[in-house]
A and B are shown apart, each in its own frame.
Chain A
Amino acid sequence: MSTPVLEISDLHMRIDEKQILKGLTLTIKGGEIHAVMGPNGTGKTSLAQCLMGHPRYQITGGSVRLDGQDMLAMKPDERARHGLFLAMQYPSEISGVTTANFLRAAINARREDGSSISLKEFRDRLDEVMRYLDMDPKFANRYLNEGFSGGEKKRNEILQMLMLKPRIAILDEIDSGLDIDAIKVVSKGVNSLKGADFGALIITHYQRILDYVRPDFVHIMVDGTIVKSGGPELALELDKKGYEWVRTELAQSTNQA
């Protein structure tokens, strides 16, 4: 499988009358881990959801391409079939649909030749991944996210990611509300996919997860655009100094200009 390239360029997007993204540019390639950090309400989740194709957002400019293909022209399911994955900040609860049935349907939907995975092969893989993620096998037969704790939902997102093997994964606050053991498990899951045919964008507020999933690039997002990019050290600096530091720096640089 070829190395994926997700190119977001000069993306503008709004909800109703409110402009959320104001010219955001970012390229994620296979083999790379990117982290995006930024204050509450700055548009991180909106970015993630609109990359995945949530109909609520209106794109007002720019482009999103995966391997050169126009993602914005595709529906969410087509984007998924092209290898995009979004672990959601707040995954929905789906009553009456078991995690196993759903995952099997999702795997079958992605098979290009229309053949479906055999029950045995599916079960074996599911068992294996669940064991790897320290998940109780009972979760497979529970209704998708219904009554799951915050941490269980996040683990379930990672389970889905490992089962679906995306090429580019966007993880929106996959670490929020997790205890340290759970963070380790989730990180182990992400790291297991690492390689030239996998790239990830990790949206987070905390340095903690980045101790386990080493980012190659860290971006700071404020008010709908990326204002500063750097290596892993940027996250550490941000952790120490807080967003005020970025804001002051920003103000200074615009004054100088």
Chain B
Amino acid sequence: MSEMILDQTSQAELNSLVEERFGHEPEWSLKRRREAVHALLNLDWPRLERTPLKKRKLDQIALFQAVPAPGVRPTPAPDGWAEIWLDNNQVVSVSVPDTLSQKGVRLEALNEALGDPEVEAQLGRLLGQDEDKVAALNGALWQGGVFLRVPAHLREVVQVSIRCHATAEAQAVFSKNLIICGSESHVVVTQRLETDDGGMKTMLSENTEIIVEDGGRVDFGAIQQCAPTVEGFIHRSGALGHDAVLNWNIGEFGSGLVVSDHVSHLNEPGASTASTTVFFGAGSQHQDYSAKSYHHAPHTTSNMVARGVMKNKARSVFTGLTQIEAGAKGSDGRQKEQTLMLSGDARADAIPSLIIDERDVFAAHAASAGPIDRAAVFYLTSRGLSEAEAERMIVHGFLAPVIDSIALPELRDEVWDAVERKIRA
């Protein structure tokens, strides 16, 4: 079984694999997996205009590998935080402070929560499993993930840390996360994605769905520092109720290939989202990001900011979409993308787009992608800084306004550290 290669595998073989691994799950979940198996064999790899996947030979990866045993030993979370660790997609530790669990905050393995009718009702509503082969693989074979439920009307801000790590042996990591924030509660989630160097090619498919109920607020921060052997597909999507807030802080640094997006559905009046993406590519990394804000209701606001740096032969695409539907009066949608290229071989494209079907709105976008200013480098070196130090300073200056806007100090520091490592890489 472990030698199965995607294009030589039959539906029957896959079904028995699913049965063998996930047969103990509730019927609704198994049924979805079987449906995904069926879809899988007929679907293509994602079709991305500027990111051809053919050459990457994704079907040569050991996609049906069972996850190896977990490797890391967790360290305790900061006081007052709820924290969950996943290693090779298996939950190895969960800690929720009593003060939070007594009030009904739930943080657990998603696999264990499948009996919950809310999970059955909500899982997969924002991210489907029949878009493409990766979505179907995730649907059929997802091994683990996190369920976070924050009840309504909590007074204190709930801090949650999600740590996902995979060892070099893992070659197929498919996960799903579901986050539901109750009305008028506020949760800050920090997710760290990391894998060890030195392994074979790995496919990482990570789906996160976030539901923010009326008046609730989710600050979702994530930092991805996977090994260059990783082919990552990271999808995040949020649905917002009345006056709900969803803030994204995304830092993307690792993986050989990363296809990553985050989407906000502003479903009810007063909902608002702000998103910040910082990315840094080096070596021969290929990064394809998109961010989307859908204004489905009046008086909704969105603000999307992205800044990226590309060095060596790295390549990035950032596509921003702000869509304001007819009837979404008084909405305000903005986006701004800027990328800096440190070498002649690096390439970065910023593609902003606005689709506006309502007159009474404000919408704006700005995008730029350009090489580092050689005159500025000369200026700094003329004062005694080495060229490398001058470039480092310019990159710092370029990213500072965005990174320093990250509200969570721990995440902000980690993003700076990641930037530093990339500059010196």
Contacts and interface: CB of A to CB of B under 8 A. Distances in A.
B396 A86 contact: no
A96 interface: yes
Interface string B381-419: 111111101100110111111000000000000000000
Interface in A72-103: 75-77, 79-81, 85-86, 88, 91-97, 102
Contacts of A105: 385, 389, 393
Interface in B54-71: none
Interface in A38-88: 49, 52-55, 75-77, 79-81, 85-86, 88
Provide the main secondary structure of the chain B interface. Answer: helix
Contacts of A102: 380, 383, 393
Nearest to B398: A96
A110 interface: yes
A164 B380 CA distance: 13
A8 interface: no
Interface in A171-214: none
Nearest to A143: B397
A200 to B, nearest CB: 16
Contact of B380 (A85, A94, A96): A94
Contact of A76 (B373, B376, B382, B398): B382
Contact of B386 (A55, A77, A94): A77
A80 B381 contact: yes
A106 interface: yes
Contacts of B399: 96
B81 interface: no
A106 B397 contact: no
Nearest to A88: B379
Given A76-B381, A109-B386, A92 B373 contact: yes
A92 B396 contact: no
Nearest to B383: A106
A94 B389 contact: no
A109 B378 CA distance: 15
A160 interface: yes
Contacts of B1: none
Nearest to A54: B378
Contacts of B379: 88, 91-92, 94
Contacts of A86: 382
Contact of A94 (B384, B387, B393, B401): B393
Given A75-B387, A77-B387, A109-B386, A94 B397 contact: yes
Given A76-B378, A88-B379, A102-B380, A96 B396 contact: yes
B375 interface: yes
A33 B382 CA distance: 21
Interface size class of B (residues with CB under 8 A): 20 to 34
B376 A77 contact: no
A95 B397 contact: yes
A186 B267 CA distance: 60
Given A54-B378, A55-B378, A92-B375, A80 B383 contact: yes
Contact of B389 (A52, A54, A109, A143): A109
A241 to B, nearest CB: 35
Contacts of B375: 92
A109 B398 contact: no
Contacts of A54: 378
B415 to A, nearest CB: 15
Nearest to B378: A54
A110 to B, nearest CB: 5
Nearest to A49: B378
A23 B378 CA distance: 25
B382 A80 contact: yes
Given A96-B401, A97-B393, A164-B383, 18 more contacts: A49-B378, A54-B378, A75-B381, A76-B381, A77-B381, A77-B385, A80-B382, A80-B384, A81-B384, A85-B382, A85-B383, A88-B379, A94-B376, A95-B397, A95-B398, A97-B394, A102-B393, A106-B380
Sort A-B residue pairs by CB-CB distance and give the 4 closest, nearest first.
A96-B397, A80-B384, A97-B397, A92-B376
17 contacts: A52-B382, A53-B382, A55-B374, A76-B381, A77-B385, A79-B382, A80-B384, A85-B382, A88-B379, A91-B379, A92-B378, A94-B376, A94-B394, A95-B398, A102-B383, A102-B393, A105-B393
Interface of A: 49, 52-55, 75-77, 79-81, 85-86, 88, 91-97, 102, 105-106, 109-110, 143, 160, 164
